Amino acid sequence: MKFRFQRKFLCIPYWLFLVLFVVVPIFFIVFYAFTDGSGHFTWDAVVEFFTTNNKLNVLVQSLLFSTLNTILCLAIGYPISYLLANKKYNTKYVLVLLFVMPMWINFVLRTGATRDVLSWLGINGGTHPYVATMIGLVYNYLPFVILPLYTTMLKLDQSQIEAASDLGCNRIQVFTKSIIPQSIPGIVSAAQMVFMPTMSSYVIPETLSEGKIVLFGNSIYLGFANNQWNSSSFMAIIMLIIIGISMLATRNFSEKDSGKGGTAW
Amino acid sequence: MENNYIIDLKNVSKIFDDETIAVDDFNLYVRKGEFVTFLGPSGCGKSTTLRMIAGFEFPSKGSILLNGKDISNVPPNKRPINMVFQRYALFPHLDVYENIAFGLRLKRIPVLKTDKQGNKVLEIDKKKIKELKSEYKLIQRNKHLDEAEKSEKLNGLQSQIDYLKANPVESYNYVKLSEKEIDNKVARALKIVDLEALEDRDISTLSGGQQQRVAIARAIVNEPEILLLDEPLGALDLKMRKEMQIELKEMHKKLGITFIYVTHDQEEALTMSDTIVIMKDGVIQQIGTPKKIYDEPKNAFVADFIGESNIYNGTIVGDKKVRFLDHNFDCEDEFQLNEKVDVVVRPEDVIISEKGGMIEGVIDNKIFKGVNYQYVIMIGKNELLLKSTKDYEVGTKVGLNIEPDGIHIMKKDFLVNIYTDAWIDKNNHVMIDDSPFDCDVTQLLAGSTLDEEGYLVSADKAHKYDLKDADVVAEIAKDKIEIIDDIESEEAQIVGSIVDSIYIGDHYRYIVRTENEEDFVLDSQYSYNLDDKVGLKVNKEDIKLRLKKEVSVYEI
Ligand SMILES: Nc1ncnc2c1ncn2[C@@H]1O[C@H](COP(=O)(O)OP(=O)(O)O)[C@@H](O)[C@H]1O
Ligand SMILES: [Mg+2]
């Protein structure tokens, strides 16, 4: 039989990639999560995770840090993005770069610098581990909030804003009834950019709390480092499930957003 | 109140960024219940004017009065005016019902405060006192008032404040509309725009026409005193547009609200409006009823913009006599003898016959337009457009008659281009808009000549002048500018794009605008499209120059 090129062959590289780098790793994680060192099936990891306080505490603490970090980043990033996107206050793109630039500096270096600045200010990781970690997290993730919010703000429909004020909104009401609803897609993608990465962040809490605070990502790493493949793999699965849930929960919003055209990424 | 003008714009101008004059000295009053339309080509300042009435822009100069009160700087939410936006601007996160209820939910209505027995509760009017107090402080700080005037005003205010403090008055609670009231109003609005069945639908599921109706309902549900509509039908297809025109007109009659409507579609303006305001480049060209504007256009621009028309160059040759198309016609307007004028003749005012007439022509083209025929008739090398129910063959020789009341005469609006900031460069070229034009500088001094080095030598050879950098005023008649199609060619002395064109009988009148925003008005036989890039050529002898200073300044 003669070989005939079909268009569907074009997706072969994609499938290969998917299998190699997504399906196979997940398979291994699942495999390790439910087998012991000699390759026999076991529930050990599940039982251990849900019965020992230690690991659950880490999960709860991570969720709290992530939530607080997301809220703080949004609270700080939202007004900044609004001002940056408003031609009345900002006519230069340079200012935007200034806020987003830290994203491109080496992450470990930046965190080390943050630690030094904080301890110089008296917020030492040894004495104030929670405050120092929180500041570090907010500082690190702020650009990830500003960029998507900024792109959404650029796309704000001015005539909707005018319509709101035409129909009787004062300045505050224009904000709550038109600007915020319009920027929901940006808020959602900004939250996604912060929430999950915070849970799995490792360098920031490690460096800034001088090892006193362990987040979920940290704990997975430590597990693997100590050859606890079984329990660490199960924690990685928990992580995957949380990511899945958060993606499902925000799916509606991101779909709407993608319909409106590309972002600046 | 001395008059019944609901809105009154007085000398309103709007200048953007210190340079773009979007609206220039706009004067207009609108009566209660009127349907007024702003009509003009795109970019002429219609939307800007509307937006100043809505409160989205504030006038740079002049004032806007609503029922006699100055509202020039009142924000949009405090004006009893609502707007239907060009692209609807509906709220996509709300459904149809909530979009329409949006304004109602924000509304607070004053309700008299009463106690349990239903007696009025009297309270000190703290709000008013606060207002008076801040006014008091303003006057106190005002340095421009003289002392006597100041203390008189302050005393007046103080006694008002004291009076208010001592005398409690009826007071009001400001309450939201109840759900039931909102429900009723939304239902009524939905009924008016014929959308009763769609109240629960998402905005994104509606067609353009339906969204349009929601936008109208959202505005009228607030019972505004004035409804502003910015090209509301622009995005609809032709059939839908015609339907909506009729519906809007009916709505206007039924609601009794004043409508201010913006469009660039002359037919829309003619069919819907009580009054049309024709604008061009931010300036009002004419205000009048559709009939008046159609029958008596004030200038060639209005005539050209409103309906089809024949426009010719004419000359006044006697008392109520005008010459155009090589014939002396009787007319009704009086002008100065020998004045050059624009003559406008509407296609339906030309009477066609086979028996001969004032002028004769040959039918060049014929189109059947449903109820009548539209003919293009060549009279010499001039074209004439006419409409008639009679059927003639192409090529027929026909006679044409025009009654005096069918001839509209207008002052010519433009004869020569004048450039007041031109100058002479070192090669004795005149620089207009930074481009060199070959010219005859010897006209600056009678009898002078140029020597080999390029200096101007007076007739008696006694004086020599260096004209380098001399400031001059240059004039070029509009029929002396030639269009060069190839903008790369040597002949094109300057390049610009066509920003305006009017057909005048046997030729077009164009405005060519250069990159530096210098305009060249010119006449040409040939047809070009708006925005075409063209080169311009002017012959050396057709540039008239005048020195700004005495010639002696340049003597060497
Ligand atoms: N916000 C603005 N800033 C600068 N120029 C503007 C602004 N709004 C309108 N203009 C200018 O004012 C002129 C009139 O615009 P507009 O009122 O929108 O015209 P129209 O509605 O008749 O098409 C145009 O030249 C336009 O470019
Ligand atoms: Mg407009």
How far is residue B504's CA from residue B302's CA, in Å, rounded to a whole number?
Answer: 13
Q: SS3 helix, strand, coil % of chain B, rounded to 5?
A: 25, 40, 35
Q: Tell me the β-bridge partners of B66.
A: B7, B69
DSSP H helices in B24-170: 46-54, 96-106, 126-141, 147-166
How far is residue B496's CA from residue B511's CA, in Å, rounded to a whole number?
Answer: 9
**What is the structure's pLDDT at A183?**
93
- In this complex, do B103 and A160 lie within 8 Å of one another by their Cβ atoms? no
Report helix angle A229-249 to A53-85, nearest 10.
40
On whether the CB atoms of residues A47 and A230 are closer than 8 A, the answer is no
Tell me the residue range of the domain where A191 lies.
51-215+248-258
Tokens representing residue A5 in the block:
């090129």
Q: Does any domain span residue A171?
A: yes
pLDDT digits (tens, 9 = 90+) for B287-310: 999 999 988 888 888 888 888 888
Element (H, E) at B169: strand B169-170
Give residue B302's Cα distance to chain centre. Answer: 10
How far is residue B200's CA from residue B185's CA, in Å, rounded to a whole number?
Answer: 16
Cα torsion A56, A61, A66, A68: sign: positive
- Closest atom of ligand 1 to B44 CA is 22
DSSP state of B56: S
Q: Does any domain span residue A42?
A: no
Fold of B296-411: OB fold (Dihydrolipoamide Acetyltransferase, E2P) (2.40.50)
Strand pairing class (B226-230; B258-263): parallel
Which CATH number is A166's domain given? 1.10.3720.10
Q: Is B398 helix (H, G, I), strand (E, B) or coil?
A: strand
How many C-beta neighbours within 10 Å does residue A157 have?
Answer: 17
This prediction's pTM: 0.73
How far is residue B25's CA from residue B38's CA, in Å, rounded to a whole number?
Answer: 15
Q: Is B401 exposed, middle or buried (0-12, 13-18, 19+ CB in 10 A)?
A: middle
On whether the CB atoms of residues A189 and A258 are closer than 8 A, the answer is no
Q: Does any domain span residue A181?
A: yes
Residues of A with CB under 8 A from a CB of B: 157, 159-160, 162-170, 173, 177-178, 181-182, 184
CB-CB neighbors (< 8 A) of A166 in chain B? 54-56, 76-77, 81-83
Query: How far away, in angstroms, is B42 Cα from ligand 2 center?
Result: 6
- In this complex, do A167 and B82 lie within 8 Å of one another by their Cβ atoms? yes
Domain tally for chain A? Answer: 1
DSSP state of A176: I
On whether the CB atoms of residues B321 and B331 are closer than 8 A, the answer is yes
Tokens representing residue A147 in the block:
């960029």
pLDDT digits (tens, 9 = 90+) for A85-135: 887 777 777 788 887 787 788 888 888 888 888 888 888 877 888 999 999
Residues found in chain B: 556
Strand pairing class (B226-230; B397-402): unpaired
How many C-beta neighbours within 10 Å does residue B521 have?
Answer: 18
Q: Phi-psi category of B158—alpha, beta or left, where left has phi over 0 and alpha has psi -120 to 50?
A: alpha
Q: Does any domain span residue A112?
A: yes
- In this complex, do A173 and B87 lie within 8 Å of one another by their Cβ atoms? no
On whether the CB atoms of residues B430 and B541 are closer than 8 A, the answer is no
In a 13 Å sphere around the CA of B321, the CA atoms on its Cβ side amount to 8
Interface predicted TM-score (ipTM) of this complex, two decimals: 0.76
Q: Can you give the pLDDT of all 556 residues of chain B as single tens digits? A: 456 799 999 999 999 988 889 999 999 999 999 999 999 988 899 999 999 999 999 999 999 999 988 898 889 999 999 999 988 899 999 999 999 999 999 998 888 877 777 777 778 888 888 888 887 887 787 776 778 888 888 888 888 888 888 888 888 888 888 999 999 999 999 999 989 888 889 999 999 889 999 999 999 999 999 999 999 998 888 888 899 999 999 999 999 999 999 999 888 999 999 999 999 989 999 999 999 998 888 888 888 888 888 888 788 888 889 999 889 999 988 888 777 788 889 898 999 988 888 999 999 999 888 888 899 999 887 889 998 888 899 999 999 999 999 998 888 766 778 787 788 988 889 998 888 898 888 888 878 888 888 888 888 888 888 888 888 888 888 888 989 888 888 888 889 998 888 887 778 888 888 887 778 888 888 888 888 899 999 988 889 888 877 788 888 8
Q: Does any domain span residue A94?
A: yes
Mean pLDDT calculated for residue range A65-74: 95
How far is residue A227's CA from residue B547's CA, in Å, rounded to a whole number?
Answer: 95
What is chain B's Cα-based Rg? 32
Tokens representing residue B140 in the block:
């106190």
Give residue A12's Cα distance to chain centre. Answer: 30
On whether the CB atoms of residues B238 and B112 are closer than 8 A, the answer is no
Q: Each residue of A167-197: b (16+ CB within 10 Å) or e?
A: bbbeeeebeebbbeebbebbbbbbbbbbbbb
Q: Between the CA of residue B180 and those of B94, B101, B159, B550, what are the distances in Å?
A: 19, 12, 45, 82
Query: How far away, in angstroms, is B328 Cα from ligand 1 center?
Result: 44
Whose Cα sits closest to atom 20 in ligand 1?
B43
Q: Does any domain span residue A43?
A: no
Class of domain B416-554: mainly beta
Nearest-Cα residue of chain A relative to residue B76: A166
How far is residue B449's CA from residue B458's CA, in Å, rounded to a whole number?
Answer: 7
- In this complex, do A167 and B56 lie within 8 Å of one another by their Cβ atoms? no
Which ligand places an atom closest to the C-alpha of B44?
1
